[in-house]
Amino acid sequence: MTSAGLTASLSPVQYLQAQVRWRWSEIVFWLATLLPFVLTPSYLVLASQIAITALFALSLDLILGYSGIVSLGHAAYFGVGAYTAGLLSQAGWGEPLTGLAVAAVAAGLFGYVTSFVVARFRHLALIMITLGIGLVMQEAANSANWITGGSDGLQGIRTWPLFGRIKFDLYGYTAYGYALAGLFLIFLVARRLIHSPFGLALRGIRENSARMPAIGAPIHAHIRTVYTIAAIIAGIAGALLAQTTETVSLESLGFQRSADVLVMLIVGGTGRLYGGLVGAAVYMVARDQLSGLNPQYWYFWIGLLLIAVVMLLPNGLLGGLSTLARRLRASS
Amino acid sequence: MSESALATRGLNKSFGSLVVASNIELNLPHGVRYALIGPNGAGKTTLINLITGALRPDSGHIILGGGDVTTLPPEQRVRLGLVRTYQINSLFPHLTALESVTLAVCERLRVAQTWWRQLPAYQHEIDEAYDILSRLTLAPVCHRVTRELAYGQQRLLEIALALAVKPKVLLLDEPAAGVPREESRELFAAIAGLSSEITVLFIEHDMDLVFRFASRVIVMVGGRVLLEGTPHEIATDPRVRAVYLGKTRLEAAS
């Protein structure tokens, strides 16, 4: 919060304008995402997977962090996007941008249909329902192996060059650029969304869903909208993974992925837009390093990290950082 | 305009063998300030829950401005102008006062579905919210998050949220509950200053406030309406005296 003196001199609209303005820390953050190109070019494949996972975590943040909808099956939408893009390519159409669009539509449709169930429940019942959606999709993909390839995964995906020109190279330059651009553009949309009247309504649902009908808010309609948007974004993330890795496996819509993204978001900090991005980066770099050290037991350390963050930093890493920044500012 | 702002016809509700509303007939004309009084457990809050749709009646009808709203969900009744506040603060703890009221204004004007335009573009809505907060003396704290507001300010914010929805009928469930006496007078002065087009029904235990701010009083006992009348009629009615009002408090008030 800004100091009272500054607040008093601004009109209400000016105050809200100041809230949505881009901060220096945000600009620095996005510039820093370009560093892997120069500093760690041998890790660009990992960097592209981080960007894709960050996008997936961002989509979860819209429903979990901003609307209070806890999901343990969010990978279902990621998987629908991944398989759609993969199948399209397998069928002979490997153009990446149209592939993304088709995957977004498929995941969005699936999200819209399921949102009618999701909107009616909260808390534990909702966790079970989303878990159920995830498990159903995983087993459906497993048993439909004439389409999905079952546990072998989807074979024969070829992603055509970007814009018909830029080939996807072995080192991941194109993959990271492509994934990062996708992440950034969708981040811009998400940022707009959370600063809109609709974003305010979502925070209202998170803060007190029982009060919302008393101000005339159609909360089911709001939840259906945000859930569909989140499904679209998750589907795009899935499609990006399918296109950049040229494989799709059952793992893309499995429970593990749903649980992992939840952990990333909680470690990074929910309801702050950048939480999922930071969480994804920390988690995936940690996994990369730890699995190098100890390929079998690295989830031990992830578990420890999760417990430590939730105990010591209940608002995640970013929540801890912003508290620290506030203390420093107050003491200076 | 001869019809009531709000009416109920034969409203019944019981939980098992406990009857909480029994054949309730209300007729609230436009613009009148009503107090709803009665001992604890008389069914006052239950009646508000029935009227607003938080509870379904077992039988009977609720008529708002001439239209039957008995089967409408709560949020649609709100859109028709039937608005309530809560006895226990039910707010948005991490939203600022301005954000909370702006949200209510946006929901009323149906712009809360738009997600591609940012909030500062809604100057009109923000100004209206700020104006409501000013009227309730909350303008200086409008950028504070709700949970950091003083208790009395949170009670005012409850009313601000209700006003943002442009109520025709406003149901206030103990608006001054937990507020120190001096502040509760200010709070009721704010309620008294509301537009005379709004019909107000408030639950209140403090008889001083009831007699000062209500033009009509409804007395409930055991899920029934015992009596309705002017404050003077209520104060002098022997039945009310017998079942509810302590003798000394009544004499002090009349």
Give residue for tokens 């420890």.
A304
Residue B20, helix vs strand vs coil: strand
Mean pLDDT of chain B: 89
Residue of chain B whose Cα is closest to the Cα of A199: B115
Yes or no, beta carbons of B107 and A207 under 8 Å apart: no
* Token pair listed for B228: 């309705």
In this complex, is the C-beta atom of A211 within 8 Å of any C-beta atom belonging to chain B? yes
- Residues A200-211 have a mean pLDDT of 95
Whole-prediction pTM: 0.91
CA–CA separation, A6 vs B107, rounded Å?
A: 29
Which CATH entry fits the domain spanning B6-90+167-253: 1.10.10.10, 3.40.50.720, 3.40.50.1820, 3.40.50.300? 3.40.50.300
The predicted complex's ipTM stands at 0.90
Of residues B94, B106, B122, nearest to A207 (C-beta)? B94
- Residues B181-201 have a mean pLDDT of 86
Domain regions of chain B by residue span:
6-90+167-253
Give residue A141's pLDDT: 94
Q: Which of B52, B79, B90, B118 to mutate to test binding with chain A, by most A CBs within 10 Å of its CB?
A: B118
Give residue A1's pLDDT: 43
Q: Which of A2, A10, A15, A16 to mutate to test binding with chain B, by most B CBs within 10 Å of its CB?
A: A16
In this complex, is the C-beta atom of A9 within 8 Å of any C-beta atom belonging to chain B? no
Of residues B93, B112, B165, nearest to A197 (C-beta)? B112
Contact present, B37 and B226 (Cβ < 8 Å): no
Chain A contact set for B83 (CB, 8 A): 214
Tell me which residues of chain A, numbers 145 to 204, contact chain B at a CB-CB cutoff of 8 Å: 192-193, 195-201, 203-204
List of residues 6+ apart from A318 with CB closer than 8 A: A268, A269, A272, A274, A275, A278
pLDDT in tens, B86-112: 988 889 999 999 999 999 999 999 999
pLDDT in tens, B62-80: 999 989 999 999 999 999 9
CA dihedral sign, ordered A20, A21, A25, A31: positive
Chain B contact set for A1 (CB, 8 A): 143-145
Chain B contact set for A67 (CB, 8 A): none
**b/e B186-224 (16+ beta carbons within 10 angstroms → b):** ebbebbeebeeebbbbbbbebbebbbebbebbbbbbebb
Give residue B5's pLDDT: 93
- Give helix A75-90 / helix A123-143 axis angle, nearest 10°: 20
Yes or no, beta carbons of B74 and A214 under 8 Å apart: yes
pLDDT over 70 (residue B251): no
Domain regions of chain A by residue span:
1-32, 43-254
Yes or no, beta carbons of B120 and A214 under 8 Å apart: no
- Residues B153-172 have a mean pLDDT of 93
Q: Where are the alpha helices (DSSP H) in chain A?
A: 4-9, 12-20, 24-32, 35-39, 44-63, 75-90, 96-118, 123-143, 145-148, 173-194, 197-208, 219-245, 255-268, 275-293, 298-312, 316-331
Q: Which of A189, A215, A315 to mutate to test binding with chain B, by most B CBs within 10 Å of its CB?
A: A215
Give residue B247's pLDDT: 46
pLDDT in tens, A114-138: 999 999 998 899 999 999 999 999 9
- Residues A211-231 have a mean pLDDT of 95
Rounded to 5 degrees, what are φ and ψ at B168? -95, -35
CA–CA separation, B156 vs B168, rounded Å?
A: 19
Of residues A1, A8, A20, nearest to B119 (C-beta)? A20
pLDDT in tens, A83-112: 999 999 999 999 999 999 999 999 999 999
List of residues 6+ apart from A20 with CB closer than 8 A: A195, B118, B119, B120
H or E element in which residue B79 lies: helix B74-79
